[in-house]
């Protein structure tokens, strides 16, 4: 993992509580599976039909038939169950997922999320994010603060096709943690060594600084 992704993953795992049913999206979220504290009774769910995803397998121990929604080989914990994707989406749409941790391409200051396609690029399908942002009890988005060109991915308004409007509860980047409230987007934490000024300089969206800001 890059240092930026490592910071994001370490902070994101703190969102998971013992006893939760959690869906991890494609990309950075899948890295969280290896970081869940031992002793936690957490069931990771995948849209393609697996409840009870374990850590990534060691090299040589991969099972090509055991994959997550991102087509990566995974392991299954004791007590895991397998089912078809229709049953999987029934779990999501029925409100049985406590937490969805998803990757993002853009997030707006209103809590809108764009993460399913870039116009003009070939995609295999829209995936399950549209269902997750509406069916999960809590939605946390994890992504790098800026794109490869150094432009802020946290926008006044998303420029990419939306996955959902006003669906993000918390955003975690390599610079900061934001919450989305009726009053607006609120900066609640900064990553180690990052100041409020650093966040402001690298963020297109307008935000409020929490009075209880945690600076690590």
pTM of the model: 0.94
Q: How far is CA 66 from CA 31, 76, 125, in A?
A: 17, 8, 20
Q: What is the mean pLDDT of residues 115-124?
A: 84
Would you say 82 and 48 are in contact if contact means Cβ atoms under 8 Å apart?
Answer: no
pLDDT confidence of residue 12: 98
CB 139 within 8 A of CB 90: no
The helix/strand/coil state of 51 is strand
Q: Verify whether residue 47 is a known catalytic residue.
A: yes
**Section 57-76 average pLDDT:** 91
Write down the domain spans for the chain.
Answer: 3-46+95-215
CATH of 3-46+95-215, one of 3.40.50.10170, 3.40.1080.10, 1.10.8.100, 3.30.56.10: 3.40.1080.10
Mean pLDDT calculated for residue range 20-24: 96
* Cα distance between residue 123 and residue 196, in whole Å: 37
Task: Considering the candidates 47, 109, 144, 189, report the single residue annotated as catalytic.
Answer: 47
For residues 26-32, give the mean pLDDT. 91
Encoded tokens for 44? 């990771």
C-alpha span between 42 and 94 (Å, rounded): 19
Give the up-direction half-sphere exposure of residue 96: CA atoms within 13 A in the CB hemisphere.
14
pLDDT of residue 216: 61
Residue 1 has pLDDT above 80, yes or no: no
């Amino acid at each position: 993992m890059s240092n930026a992704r490592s910071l994001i993953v370490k902070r994101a795992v703190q969102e998971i509580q013992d006893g939760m049913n959690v869906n991890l999206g494609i990309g950075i979220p899948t890295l969280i599976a290896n970081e869940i504290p031992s002793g936690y009774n957490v069931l990771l769910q995948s849209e393609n039909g697996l409840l009870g995803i374990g850590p990534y397998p060691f090299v040589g121990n991969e099972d090509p038939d055991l994959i997550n929604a991102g087509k990566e080989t995974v392991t299954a914990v004791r007590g895991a169950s397998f089912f078809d994707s229709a049953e999987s989406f029934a779990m999501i749409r029925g409100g049985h997922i406590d937490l969805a941790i998803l990757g993002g391409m853009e997030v707006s200051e209103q809590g809108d999320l764009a993460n399913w396609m870039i116009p003009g690029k070939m995609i295999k399908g829209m995936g399950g994010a549209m269902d997750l942002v509406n069916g999960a009890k809590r939605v946390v988005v994890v992504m790098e603060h800026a794109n490869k060109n150094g432009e802020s991915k946290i926008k006044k308004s998303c420029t990419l096709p939306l996955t959902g409007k006003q669906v993000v509860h918390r955003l975690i980047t390599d610079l900061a943690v934001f919450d989305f409230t009726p009053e607006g987007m609120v900066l609640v934490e900064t990553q180690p060594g990052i100041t409020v000024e650093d966040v402001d300089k690298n963020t297109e969206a307008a935000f409020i600084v929490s009075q209880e800001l945690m600076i690590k």
